[in-house]
Amino acid sequence: MAADLNTLSSIYDYELKTIRGEDTTLQAYEGDVLLIVNTASKCGYTPQYEQLQKLYETYGEKGFTVLGFPSDNFGGQELDTEEEIVEFCEVNFGVTFPLFARSDVKGDSIHPLFADLTTMENSDFTGEIGWNFEKFLVDRNGNLLRRFKSNEEPMGDEIRSSIEEIL
């Protein structure tokens, strides 16, 4: 089990499962700028997958990575299995950025990563995730710098300029 942030040395120590069921941590992304997003396949914001992929392609060579965390916490808007999620994302949006196993991003079973991301100080806001496709921008040292609401377009000026500023 992952410990809470107070006992972790960094954001990179959280224990996770990839969407293909492999055990991992965020250690592989240490040194990258990260956009961590709680996603869903049957949401009004689902078309943001296309823009998230474009961000990943645009800035990936500069050390930027999008990390997608499918969640079924909001209106049952996620597919039932990881296999269905992968197929949906690849076929409909050409997603190649890393996806992780379905995770609770709020409630009693919240994943420790999201329990901490939602309470970490940043220049925007803290508190429980309100809906699918909220975005957390993490710098190369694992610090949460910005947090964006679901309706903030990934390719919009606010997110792109924030990424460019820290790249």
What b/e sequence results for 71-89 when a residue is b if at least 16 CB atoms lie within 10 Å of its CB, and e otherwise? bbbbeebbbeebeebbebb
Q: Catalytic residue, from 16, 26, 36, 43: name it.
A: 43
Q: Tokens for 56?
A: 């990943």
What per-residue string of b and e applies to 4-39 under the rule 16 or more CB within 10 Å gives b? Answer: ebeebeebbbbebeebeeeeebbeebeebbbbbbbb
Residue 89 known to be catalytic: no
N- to C-terminal Cα distance for the chain?
Answer: 32
Residues designated catalytic = 43
